[in-house]
Chains A and B, each alone.
Chain A
Amino acid sequence: MSAAEALLRVEDLKVEFPTEDGLVHAVDGITYQVQAGKTLGIVGESGSGKTVSSLTTLGLTRRQGARISGRILFGGRDLVTLPEDELRAVRGNEIAMIFQDPLSALHPLYKVGKQLVEAVLAHRDVSKAKARARAIELLGLVGIPDPAKRVDAYPHEFSGGMRQRAMIAMALANEPKLLIADEPTTALDVTVQAQILALMERLQRELGMAILIITHDLGVVAEMADDIAVMYAGRIVETGSADSIFAKPQHPYTWGLLRSIPRLDSPRDEELVPILGTPPSLINPPTGCHFHPRCPYAQPDHARIDPQLVPVADEPSHFVACLLETEVRRRLWAELGAGGTPEAALAEAGLAHGETPARPAEGQPPLPGAGR
């Protein structure tokens, strides 16, 4: 995992938006990389900064008045400082992006084919007829039946899954090296979700492109990702290979995410465990560890000390930003993994019940189930 061979390398990226209420620290110093042909999954709740970081990669937060620092290295260039017209040549060409809701992401008044043709013509100097032929080819590639006819349909004449296929076709128009997929399946039916994920995997194999998939859904990253970065409040709190994160998750937030997804192999009457509280304000983030107000295992000094992303013992490519000791974390997860409650895990690990997260954040209504 050396920096030299990474396709995309993001270093200490910070994105801040000045607003009337104050400076929003949307992305607060994140570092990650995507290897050529591999998939990185960025996981986190809404508002954790995952979408902003990917939009910034394409320079799409610039015109919103974002203050951007750090580096985004791609093909020997720094996309943070690249002039707008050179960046435009990268967008949709070397790096393409698909979005959450394909209905609103496609222009309602243009035919699907025209939107594909536009994508081709933005970067290729070919005739309109050639671009149209390419559009039909692309629609066929993403599995839209009868593409020669469907190319003249409007987005509203497509089903949700077909729209997302059309979006993917558009993203592939210029055979990008990197595809950024921002919640690509969130707006779709479950059966369609699986089809879209399978399609993306097939296309990745066939075209050899890297994928950066952004989602709140651990199921999606389990399916797709080689590596995972877990984001919380604008920071990466844990990163590593998908195998290591699912086998030995290190951060209490990751535990929370894992415990809040339903599993078919657990007893049917077992309750899902939500993460208590709400995501923190990005204008005044909590001091110390950003997760401490919601962390059942937080100790008093965690509100003061800012944890750094450090390698996990015995796992050089697995990093975590947590102030708990490795041994304590191992015992906590062992207890949680066996179906124990945070309280039991705390007792097992011999920790004091520090900051209790059961109280909702100030000024916010309690979440359903938070009063248990």
Chain B
Amino acid sequence: MTAYVIRRLIWGLALLIIVCALTFILFRVLPTGNPAVLRAGRDPQPKLIKEIERVLGLDKSLPVQFWDYLKNVFLHFNFGYSYYSQESVVSLIKERLPATASLTIGAAVVWMIGGLSVGVISALKQRTFLDRASMGSALVLISAPEFWLGLIVLFLFASDIGKFKIFPGAGSYVGLTYDPWKWFTSMIMPWCVLAASSAAIFARLMRGGLIEAMGEDYIRTARAKGLRERRVIRQGVRSSINPIVTLLALEIGVLLGGAVLIEYVFNIPGIGRLAYQSIVQSDFEVIQGTVLLASFFIILANIAADIGYAYLDPRVRYS
């Protein structure tokens, strides 16, 4: 098991370097805005562009640029500096990490609790109105694009522009440490919107898994033993959880991707917004930093899911 984990971690590291190389090439080779041109103002002299390229280090050959970048990242934990604000990428990300962490962790909680309970109830009340209604809405939520859903929710429930002025609207984010209650209320809508599609998938899978599990022989055994129905259901839930754990890791990626849009729609000063701005401005170093960070968490989540799977299912053994 330990050997397996170490091997997975090494592969994870290799994967990070590959991701790094891909983003590096994508933004430098593909026809995108040249940051030097973007910075040089209107009708720039070619000399000026050359000069800016030299300052930003863009005049060196690609492999040299890449090698310098990797050296900085892995040896000095230095992810470079924004072309615009000259701030270090690390401090930019640090500054915005709390907002994104609030958003994604909260959404993951909503997603898991919501998806799990809706799925379980749907499975147990199979073919009732409740079941059909929740599975129907799940289908809608899976199909709805997040930014659209975000706008609709703002339009319906935001305290400024909403029809029903219930929750603080876009741009109301405050830090958790600054005012916990305001933080909580401002995050309710973003959490729900970001969690919606994942929770809906989770609910549908949970429902299917639990219905299947409740038909298994061991559930009949549990009933024949005289266990209370609550404990019988717990046994069913226990065995239908496992396949969903794999999904968990995949959905973390979806969640981080969704965070970019949600932070934009709800005007939350997080890493997603940072990534969006840096792409618009061809701020290569910042793009690199945010992409690397997201990949790091996705790879970590996948390793954690695989290890968790072995822990959850005693029949799975890695060697």
Q: Given A101-B217, A154-B314, A156-B315: A107 and B239 within 8 A (CB)?
A: yes
Count contacts on B: residues with CB < 8 A to the other chain.
21
| A-binding residues in B (CB < 8 A) | 216-218, 220-228, 231, 235, 238-239, 242, 312-315
Whether B218 and A118, one on each chain, are in contact in the complex, defined by CB atoms closer than 8 angstroms, is no
Whether B218 and A108, one on each chain, are in contact in the complex, defined by CB atoms closer than 8 angstroms, is yes
Given contacts A58-B224, A122-B231, 14 further A-B contacts (CB under 8 A): A88-B226, A91-B223, A91-B225, A91-B226, A92-B227, A104-B218, A109-B242, A109-B313, A110-B235, A118-B222, A119-B225, A119-B227, A123-B226, A170-B221
Instruction: Please measure, in the bound complex, the distance between the C-alpha atom of A362 and the C-alpha atom of B294, giving whole angstroms.
Output: 65
Convert A94-124 into 0s and 1s, putting 1 for each residue whose CB lies closer than 8 angstroms to a CB of B. Answer: 0011010100111111100000001100110
Count contacts on A: residues with CB < 8 A to the other chain.
29
A65, chain B: closest CB distance, angstroms: 11
Whether B315 and A108, one on each chain, are in contact in the complex, defined by CB atoms closer than 8 angstroms, is yes
A202, chain B: closest CB distance, angstroms: 22
Whether A60 and B224, one on each chain, are in contact in the complex, defined by CB atoms closer than 8 angstroms, is yes
Interface check A93, CB cutoff 8 A:
yes
Instruction: Please measure, in the bound complex, the distance between the C-alpha atom of A122 and the C-alpha atom of B228, giving whole angstroms.
Output: 7
Interface check A261, CB cutoff 8 A:
no
Instruction: Please measure, in the bound complex, the distance between the C-alpha atom of A167 and the C-alpha atom of B224, giving whole angstroms.
Output: 11
Q: Taking CB as reference atom, which chain A residue is nearest B221? A: A105
Q: Given A105-B217, A107-B218, A110-B235: A92 and B224 within 8 A (CB)?
A: yes
Interface check A141, CB cutoff 8 A:
no
Q: Given A107-B239, A109-B314, A156-B315: A122 and B225 within 8 A (CB)?
A: yes
Instruction: Please measure, in the bound complex, the distance between the C-alpha atom of A77 and the C-alpha atom of B218, giving whole angstroms.
Output: 27
Interface check A89, CB cutoff 8 A:
yes
Query: Chain A residues with Cβ under 8 A from B228's Cβ?
Result: 88, 122
Interface check A90, CB cutoff 8 A:
yes
| B-binding residues in A (CB < 8 A) | 55, 58, 60, 88-93, 96-97, 99, 101, 104-110, 118-119, 122-123, 154, 156, 167, 170, 173
* The 6 nearest A-B residue pairs measured at CB: A92-B226, A91-B226, A92-B225, A104-B217, A107-B218, A97-B224
Whether B239 and A108, one on each chain, are in contact in the complex, defined by CB atoms closer than 8 angstroms, is yes
Instruction: Please measure, in the bound complex, the distance between the C-alpha atom of A88 and the C-alpha atom of B313, giving whole angstroms.
Output: 29
Query: Chain B residues with Cβ under 8 A from A156's Cβ?
Result: 314-315
Whether B225 and A118, one on each chain, are in contact in the complex, defined by CB atoms closer than 8 angstroms, is yes
Instruction: Please measure, in the bound complex, the distance between the C-alpha atom of A106 and the C-alpha atom of B312, giving whole angstroms.
Output: 16
Instruction: Please measure, in the bound complex, the distance between the C-alpha atom of A104 and the C-alpha atom of B215, giving whole angstroms.
Output: 11
Whether A99 and B217, one on each chain, are in contact in the complex, defined by CB atoms closer than 8 angstroms, is yes
The answer, among A96, A99, A110, for a CB contact under 8 Å with B220, is A99
Q: Taking CB as reference atom, which chain B residue is nearest A101? A: B217
Whether B224 and A91, one on each chain, are in contact in the complex, defined by CB atoms closer than 8 angstroms, is yes
Whether A89 and B313, one on each chain, are in contact in the complex, defined by CB atoms closer than 8 angstroms, is no
A51, chain B: closest CB distance, angstroms: 11
Q: Taking CB as reference atom, which chain A residue is nearest B227? A: A122
Whether B218 and A105, one on each chain, are in contact in the complex, defined by CB atoms closer than 8 angstroms, is yes
Query: Chain A residues with Cβ under 8 A from B235's Cβ?
Result: 107, 110
Query: Chain B residues with Cβ under 8 A from A105's Cβ?
Result: 217-218, 220-221
What are 28 A-to-B residue pairs whose CB atoms are below 8 Å?
Answer: A91-B223, A91-B224, A91-B226, A92-B225, A92-B227, A96-B225, A99-B217, A105-B220, A105-B221, A107-B221, A107-B222, A107-B235, A108-B218, A108-B314, A109-B313, A109-B314, A110-B235, A118-B222, A118-B225, A118-B227, A118-B231, A119-B225, A119-B227, A154-B314, A154-B315, A156-B314, A167-B221, A173-B225
A118, chain B: closest CB distance, angstroms: 6
Q: Taking CB as reference atom, which chain A residue is nearest B217? A: A104
Q: Taking CB as reference atom, which chain A residue is nearest B225? A: A92
Q: Taking CB as reference atom, which chain B residue is nearest A111? A: B314
A44, chain B: closest CB distance, angstroms: 20
Instruction: Please measure, in the bound complex, the distance between the C-alpha atom of A122 and the C-alpha atom of B314, giving whole angstroms.
Output: 25
A298, chain B: closest CB distance, angstroms: 38
Q: Report which residue of A88, A89, A96, A123 has the largest number of chain B beta carbons within 10 angstroms of its beta carbon.
A: A88
B219, chain A: closest CB distance, angstroms: 8
B229, chain A: closest CB distance, angstroms: 8
Query: Chain A residues with Cβ under 8 A from B222's Cβ?
Result: 107, 118
Whether B315 and A89, one on each chain, are in contact in the complex, defined by CB atoms closer than 8 angstroms, is no
Whether B223 and A106, one on each chain, are in contact in the complex, defined by CB atoms closer than 8 angstroms, is no
B109, chain A: closest CB distance, angstroms: 24
Q: Report which residue of B216, B217, B313 has the largest number of chain A beta carbons within 10 angstroms of its beta carbon.
A: B217
Instruction: Please measure, in the bound complex, the distance between the C-alpha atom of A251 and the C-alpha atom of B38, giving whole angstroms.
Output: 97
The answer, among B216, B217, B226, B238, for a CB contact under 8 Å with A89, is B226
